[in-house]
Structure 1
Amino acid sequence: MITIYHNPRCSKSREGLTYLEDKGVQYKITKYLDEPLTKEELTDILRKLNFKPIELVRTKEEIWKELTKDKNLEDNEIIEAMVKYPRLIERPIIINGDKAVIARPTENIDTII
Structure 2
Amino acid sequence: MAPTIAVVQPQPHRQPPSSAADEEVLRRRNEELERELKKSLEREDKMKQELQRTWERLRVAEEAEERLCTQLGELEAEAVDQARAYRARFLGLMDQLSAAQKLLQASSASLPNSQ
With normalisation by structure 2, the TM-score equals: 0.15
- Indicate the structure whose relative CO is greater, using CA pairs within 8 Å and at least 6 residues apart: 1
